[in-house]
Amino acid sequence: MNQDEIYRHSPETRRRITDIFSREEVRHLTARSDLRGAWLILSTWLVIAAAFALIAWAVGQPLLLAVPLVTVGVAVLGGRQLALAIITHEATHRTLFKTRWANDGLTDWLCARPIGLDLAKYRAHHFIHHARTGTDEDSDISLIQGLPTTRMSLVRKFARDLAGLTGVKYLIGLALMNAGVIRWTVASDVERLPRNGRHAGQYLLAFLRNSLPTLITNGILFGVLWMLGMPWLYLAWLGAYLSPYPFFLRVRALAEHAATERTTDMFRNTRTTRAGWLARSFVAPCHVNFHIEHHAMAAVPWFRLPEAHRLLRARQVVPEPPGYWQVMQRVSSRQAPQSSLS
C-alpha cells in the first residue's frame, strides 16, 4: 500500500487538510531536503560516537564517577537507537530525502539494519497503521490495547523494559521473524506462519538470509570498535538495545496513540505531546512527538512538523499538547480493583 492509497482509505483526512491549509502551504510544508536528511543521519551517528567515547573514558574513572557516567552513556545510546528507528520511519514515508535511493537504500543500511529493522517490511506494516489508525485493523493496535491500565501495571511494564526482559523477548521474536516462523511485525501481536512442509534447514537459511544485513552492519560497528582497541564497547551497544531502548520505545508509542478515542478521525485517535530537551533526547527524537501533524499529513518531513503544529494551533484545530508525564498519568489512570475480605 503506497501513500496515495493511505489517503484514498482516509477521505476525511484529505478533506479536512485542504480545508485547513492552502495549496501554497501544503507545497511548502511537504518540501523535502537531501541536506537535512543527510545531516540527521550524520548527527545521530556523531552522538553515538560521543556516547561510546564517554563510556570508554568513564570506565577508567573511580567507581562513584564511572557508574553514573556509563549509565548516562548507555542511555544516550538507547536514545540514539530510537532515533535510528524514527529516521527509518521518516524514510518509510520517503520524506527524509528528496532522492528515492537515499530514502530506500542508504537509510536502510545506515539506520534500519543496525537495529534489526527492515525498511521495506516496515513500510508495508506501517502504511496499514496509517490507513487504519484507531480501528481493529490497525497493524499497531496491539501496542495500545487494554489502556488505560493501572499504575502498577505500567510500572511492571517499565521494569521489564529496563531489566532487559522486553529486549530479550524482542531479539527472540526478531530471530523467529527472520526465520519465517512468525509474521514480521513491530507490534506485540504474534502470528505463526504455516509450515508448508519446510524443514529446519530451510528455516535456518531464511534466518541467515534475512538477518545478514543486520549481522553485517553490526559486524562493521564491532570491527570499528575493535580497530580502536575497544571491542568491549559493543557490549554497551547491545546493553542499550536490550534495556533503555525498549523503554524509550514504549514511552514513545504510548504517547502517540494510547488512551485516545477509537475513531477514524486522526485528530482524535492520535496525540501530539509537548517535548522538552530531555524528552527530545530520549523518547521524542526527530520531532516525532508532533504525531497528530504527521498523521494528518504524512508527507510533511520531520523538520517541518513544528511549523505545521504552530499553524494548526493558530487555527485552533489542535489543543495545547500535554507533556509526557501527563500522558503517562492518563495511560495509568485505571483504578486497581478493590479486594474484598470474606
Round to whole Å and give the CA distance between 24 and 226: 52
Is there a contact between 144 and 327 (Cβ–Cβ < 8 Å)?
no
Give which of 43, 194, 177 is closest to 116, Cα–Cα: 177
Residue 108 has a pLDDT of: 98
Phi (first) and psi of residue 2, to 5 degrees: -95, 180
pLDDT of residue 338: 67
Number of H helices, E strands in the chain: 18, 0
Q: Tens digit of pLDDT for each residue in 261-302?
A: 988 898 999 999 999 999 999 999 999 999 999 999 999 999
For the chain, which ranges sit under pLDDT 50?
A: 1-15, 340-342
- Of the CA atoms within 13 Å of residue 145, those in its CB half-sphere come to 11
8 A C-beta contact, residue 271 and residue 321: yes
Question: 25-43, pLDDT tens digit by residue?
Answer: 999 999 999 999 999 999 9
Which residues make Cβ contacts (< 8 Å) with residue 44, sequence separation at least 6? Answer: 80, 83, 84, 87, 111, 285
Query: How is residue 246 written as a grid cell?
Result: 525498549
Taking the CB of residue 35, how many other CB atoms lie within 10 A of it? 9
- DSSP-derived letter for residue 244 is H
Would you state the pLDDT for residue 58?
98
DSSP string over 135-162: STT-TTGGGTTT-S--HHHHHHHHHHHH
pTM of the model: 0.93
**What span, in angstroms and rounded, lies between the C-alpha atoms of 164 and 216?**
24
Identify the pLDDT of residue 3. Answer: 39
